[in-house]
Amino acid sequence: MPAESEAPFKISVIIPFHRGFVTLRDTLEGIRSQTYPAEAIQVIAVNNNPGDPGIQTMKGDFPEVRWIDEPVPSSYVARNRGLMAADSEWLVFTDSDCLPTPEWLTEGVKEIQAGGWDLLAGRVDLADPSDRSLNACELLEHEFSMLHRQKELVEHLNVVATANLFAKRALFDELGGFATDLMSYGDGEWTRRAVAAGKRLGYADRALVRHPRRSCFREILSKMVRVAGDRVNYLRFQGESEWMVLHDLWRGSFLDPRIYVRILRCSRERPLWQRLQMLAMGGICTFCCMVQKIRVAAGAKAFRG
């Protein structure tokens, strides 16, 4: 239900998506349930797979959403397309598999007003299964994913994941949009660019969205390999030397002993069989990541998953 008080300003929520209609539906339902006044929320969903017939049902079920097509298969191109269509003072970005809590926008706006921020990171939690403990894949993701460490990203790296980002529209007018040469790290590159330009970055712990955990090995492997290849592209985009690119091949690879120390540390209370399972999965993932980095460093295109 919308809040009774008048909204301090209008917000445009931008959501890129590529199929994934089940999770997108949950995201849109979560936005419908916001305590922030509904009349002050513009929702823009950018379809990165135009022509998919499944979109017609979604359009009928969510007539309040502005549906936009973007044929270039890139979430950052889609986000740039969405911000071009937005007409609000503040833009809010999330992903089509995120579940916002009802107070998400209200708490974000409260923190913006209290801190006078130019851009703001909201909290991202990984959603726990309701009927069981975490399996080995989920434990591995929890240890190595940075998505649920949004506060740490903000405080130490000036990086915000677009799973939960609030930003003034004027910043994009001044600094430009997300880098379309990147398939990953584009959100961090943009927020670092904003901070380097003197913009104030804050964090709102109560502006919360939840992201589903990856519960199978194929999902974990695909994600890690994709990000590994994009890491090489990001370093080159930042103008790093080839020596830095080569050095990064070892970092986080199956030859890096810190990987196995972290796995053993995070799983020490788990049964031996599960610890061995995590070690094996970690070794396979990091080996594949190293191979992918070498491929991309040699000129191949990054794996898209």
Distance spanning both ends of the chain, measured CA to CA = 38
In terms of residue numbers, what domain contains 269?
A: 217-297
- Average pLDDT in the 222-234 region? 90
What's the pLDDT tens digit per position in 232-258?
988 888 888 888 888 888 877 888 888
> Does 166 share its domain with 226?
no
pLDDT of residue 3: 44
> Does 148 share its domain with 293?
no
Q: Which class for 1: exposed (0-12), middle (13-18), buried (19 or more C-beta within 10 A)?
A: exposed
What's the pLDDT tens digit per position in 53-63?
878 888 999 99
Say which residues have a Cβ less than 8 Å from residue 175's Cβ, sequence separation at least 6.
190, 193, 194, 197
Of 249, 258, 236, which is closest to residue 287 (Cα–Cα)?
Answer: 249
Amino acid making up residue 260: Y
pLDDT of residue 173: 95
Whether 117 maps to a domain, the answer reads yes
What's the pLDDT tens digit per position in 87-120?
999 999 999 999 999 999 999 999 999 999 999 9
Say which residues have a Cβ less than 8 Å from residue 40's Cβ, sequence separation at least 6.
7, 9, 10, 11
Whether 302 maps to a domain, the answer reads no
Q: Percent of the chain scored above 70 by pLDDT?
A: 97
Specify the pTM.
0.90
Residue at which a domain ends, from 212, 242, 268: 212
> Does 150 share its domain with 178?
yes
Whether 4 maps to a domain, the answer reads no
Whether 6 maps to a domain, the answer reads no
pLDDT band at 182 (very low <50, low <70, confident <90, very high): confident
> Does 239 share its domain with 182?
no
- Average pLDDT in the 191-206 region? 97
pLDDT band at 162 (very low <50, low <70, confident <90, very high): very high
Structural domains in the chain (count): 2
CATH number of the domain within which 61 lies: 3.90.550.10
